[in-house]
Amino acid sequence: FHAASPSSSPTPAYDAWCGVAHGCTRKLGMKICGFLQKNNSLDEKNRIASSFRDRQTPKNQLSCENSDREARYRRTETDFSNLFARDLLPAKNGEEPTMQFLLEVMDILTNYVRKTFDRSTKVLDFHHPHQLLEGMEGFNLELSDQPESLEQILVDCRDTLKYGVRTGHPRFFNQLSSGLDIIGLAGEWLTSTANTNMFTYEIAPVFVLMEQLTLKKMREMIGRMLKPLRGAISNMYSVMVARYKYFPEVKTKGMSAAPRLVLFTSEHIRKKRLVIITSLFFFSSQSHYSITKAGAALGFGKENVILLSTDERGRVIPADLEAKIISVKQKGYHPLFVNATAGTTVYGAFDPINEIADICEKYNLWLHVDGAWGGGLLMSRQHRHKLNGVERANSVTWNPHKMMGVPLQCSAILVREKGILQGCNSMCAGYLFQPDKQYDVTYDTGDKAIQCGRHVDIFKFWLMWKAKGTTGFEEHIDRCLELSEYLYNKIKDREGYEMVFEGQPQHTNVCFWYIPPGLRDMPPGDERRERLHKVAPKIKAMMMESGTTMVGYQPQGNKVNFFRMVVSNHAVTRSDIDFLIDEIERLGNDL
């Protein structure tokens, strides 16, 4: 565009046209064209393509058919070293270089996808920050005033993937979110290409409706108890909704209008996290705030976040909650909000929601269920009982990007009471939301959200649901839990392993220490603890250096560093579990 004159013709030139006009000769082509443009014969399509550069389209007879001018581009030998961004569309004659450039990018990406699933490739090719900053074989991260050629841009794309981490690799176990779902990936590419925003029906009609229908299905999974939040409800912090519910005057007058408010969450504060939502239902940012952070941010203060005791499996003890509520009330404070976690980050524990809900009802507290990690189990008839009571929650968080394999990011919040989010957030922004539009403006969701603009995170999830069906998600969940059971059974009595907590894990989280031979006969005590604490970091560092696999570790309370294995990647097989164990033993044997 840099070369284009502001007064250039409105009709771009098509001299560079060299796409191959492609009739509906293939089965898919036929079918798709059948939907979109029923009467267009192959001949007519060819005529359209060949006469295209001369075409003058009369006003108001514009094309909106996808099959019009449909063309398949063939890759040609293109010299990108003399091409620059300014030569791409909307530049004059920009169509051909644009198509060739995008095909080249696509080639880089599909090769990366193939290798992601290939166990003969590394999970990562580790380099220290200073090494990458110094420039690896011509990979220069610095930005300059002058443009780089498209050839260099393509090289940079390859290098970016080369020095990154293959989070979809079957042996990447480092995070709750792992795996590369092909349908989800296609959904993300399409979303990027559509490049729109969720705030009004006007500019995202299809996505707004997809979100509505998908939320309806999720609500059904939760148990038909949570009301649908239509397009009309907003992105919200569950803590804020709770505050608004009981003390609406805070919205206007600030926190001084309320008594001292108290929030409750587990003492496992590092694993028990309150998910605060930064956009309507599907939001782009993972937004894991610990409840302490939420308390600080929203003006409650860290002191007013009370930690609840947990059992040895990391589950909140309901009696402790009740005792603390009573104690807080005796001090004259107002207990407001309880966070129950369905699937903690480290132990994968599910709090007893029904018992907690009984207490919340008795004392009139808001119950939030953080199902960011565990919500996916609602799709499984075999495992959903672990969330029993979730239908009683005032609000539920559920991140399909974690256990359900949806690409990052995709998270939802559902709130039971209809209208409360809207009451909490609506402010009206006249430049976005005009009541005098010609369509039903209740589909304009933006004004009812705290945050006005929202990335389109729904499409990939909707497309995956279409492609897999509910049964496909169920099979995925069941399979991941089976693999985790396989790991648990394999190591629970194996020499050199100690489990961090006893019994079958509730989620796919398996937490364990590997005890190198040299430590196995040491008596318990500080020296053994100190040495054991260093084992997992050392093994992890060697794993990363060799690039063979990645798994997380951390300390927890008085427990020294242990491995936390999780499975959410659909590419994982028992052989990968076996590989991990072999690799830990290979690397840790001499420690």
Residues 331-350 that bind its own copies (CB under 8 A): 345-346
Q: Which of 533, 551, 537, 543 is nearest to 484 (CA)?
A: 551
**CB distance 340 to 356 below 8 Å:** yes
Amino acid at 524: P
Q: Is 471 in the site for its own copies (CB under 8 A)?
A: yes
State which residue, 162 or 494, has the beta carbon closest to its own copies: 162
From 335, 374, 376, 552, residue interacting with its own copies (rule: CB under 8 A): 552
Task: In angstroms, give the least distance from the CB of 388 to its own copies.
Answer: 22
State which residue, 357 or 477, has the beta carbon closest to its own copies: 477
State which residue, 356 or 563, has the beta carbon closest to its own copies: 563
Site string for its own copies, 420-449 (x = CB under 8 A): -----x-xxxxxx-x-xxxxx--x------
**CB distance 423 to 416 below 8 Å:** no
From 23, 168, 371, 376, residue interacting with its own copies (rule: CB under 8 A): 168
HSE, CB side, 13 Å, CA atoms: give it for residue 85. Answer: 6
Binding to its own copies (CB under 8 A) within 308-327 occurs at none
Q: Is 104 in the site for its own copies (CB under 8 A)?
A: yes
State which residue, 520 or 534, has the beta carbon closest to its own copies: 534
Task: In angstroms, give the least distance from the CB of 330 to its own copies.
Answer: 19
* 195, containing H or E segment: none
Task: In angstroms, give the least distance from the CB of 154 to its own copies.
Answer: 6
From 483, 581, 584, 591, residue interacting with its own copies (rule: CB under 8 A): 483
Distance CA 35, CA 294 (A): 49
Q: Is 489 in the site for its own copies (CB under 8 A)?
A: no
State which residue, 200 or 318, has the beta carbon closest to its own copies: 200
b/e for 336-366, b at 16 or more Cβ within 10 A?
Answer: bbbbbbbbbbbbbbbbbbebbbebbeeeebb
Q: Is 254 in the site for its own copies (CB under 8 A)?
A: yes
SS3 160: helix
Task: In angstroms, give the least distance from the CB of 457 to its own copies.
Answer: 8
Instruction: List phi, psi (to 5°) of 336.
Output: -115, -40
Binding to its own copies (CB under 8 A) within 255-284 occurs at 255-257, 260-261, 270-271, 273, 276, 278-279, 283-284
Q: Which one of 178-186, 414-422, 489-497, 513-521 is the stretch in contact with its own copies (CB under 8 A)?
A: 178-186
Task: In angstroms, give the least distance from the CB of 461 to its own copies.
Answer: 10
Q: Which of 403, 400, 373, 371 is nearest to 387 (CA)?
A: 371
Q: Which one of 105-113, 349-357, 363-371, 520-528 is the stretch in contact with its own copies (CB under 8 A)?
A: 105-113
Instruction: List phi, psi (to 5°) of 124.
Output: -155, 160
* 113, containing H or E segment: helix 95-116
Task: In angstroms, give the least distance from the CB of 281 to its own copies.
Answer: 12
Distance CA 500, CA 351 (A): 18
Binding to its own copies (CB under 8 A) within 211-250 occurs at 213-214, 217, 237, 240, 250
Using alpha carbons only, what angle is made at residue 18 by residues 14 and 21, rounded to the nearest 5 degrees? 100
State which residue, 361 or 582, has the beta carbon closest to its own copies: 582
HEC sequence for 26-56: CHHHHHHHHHHCCCCCHHHHHHHHHCHHHCC
Q: Is 397 in the site for its own copies (CB under 8 A)?
A: no
Q: Which one of 5-13, 311-319, 386-394, 414-422 is the stretch in contact with its own copies (CB under 8 A)?
A: 5-13
* 222, containing H or E segment: helix 205-222
* 514, containing H or E segment: strand 510-514
Task: Show the tokens assigned to 237.
Answer: 């912090």
**CB distance 486 to 574 below 8 Å:** yes
Q: Is 81 in the site for its own copies (CB under 8 A)?
A: yes
Binding to its own copies (CB under 8 A) within 355-394 occurs at none
Task: In angstroms, give the least distance from the CB of 516 to its own copies.
Answer: 16
Q: For 448-563, where are the alpha helices, taking DSSP H only?
A: 458-491, 517-520, 526-546
Distance CA 141, CA 133 (A): 7
Indicate the burial class of 587 (C-beta count within 10 angstroms; 0-12, 13-18, 19 or more): buried
Q: Is 159 in the site for its own copies (CB under 8 A)?
A: yes
Q: Is 529 in the site for its own copies (CB under 8 A)?
A: no
From 45, 384, 468, 507, residue interacting with its own copies (rule: CB under 8 A): 468
From 15, 44, 189, 225, residue interacting with its own copies (rule: CB under 8 A): 189
Q: Is 491 in the site for its own copies (CB under 8 A)?
A: no
Q: Is 201 in the site for its own copies (CB under 8 A)?
A: yes
State which residue, 85 or 519, has the beta carbon closest to its own copies: 85
State which residue, 246 or 579, has the beta carbon closest to its own copies: 579
Q: Is 501 in the site for its own copies (CB under 8 A)?
A: no
Task: In angstroms, give the least distance from the CB of 227 to its own copies.
Answer: 19
Q: Is 98 in the site for its own copies (CB under 8 A)?
A: yes
Q: Are strands 305-308 and 288-290 parallel, antiparallel or unpaired?
A: unpaired
State which residue, 356 or 480, has the beta carbon closest to its own copies: 480
From 21, 42, 78, 585, residue interacting with its own copies (rule: CB under 8 A): 78
Amino acid at 503: G
Task: Show the tokens assigned to 308.
Answer: 């609840």
Q: Is 589 in the site for its own copies (CB under 8 A)?
A: no
Q: Distance between the two ends of the chain, CA-based, in angstroms?
A: 60
Q: Is 508 in the site for its own copies (CB under 8 A)?
A: no
Q: Is 86 in the site for its own copies (CB under 8 A)?
A: yes
From 42, 148, 359, 417, residue interacting with its own copies (rule: CB under 8 A): 148
- State the number of binding residues for its own copies (CB under 8 A): 245
Distance CA 207, CA 201 (A): 8
Distance CA 416, CA 503 (A): 34
Task: In angstroms, give the least distance from the CB of 365 to its own copies.
Answer: 18
What are the residues whose beta carbons fall under 8 Å from the beta carbon of 205, sequence distance 6 or more? 443
State which residue, 304 or 394, has the beta carbon closest to its own copies: 304
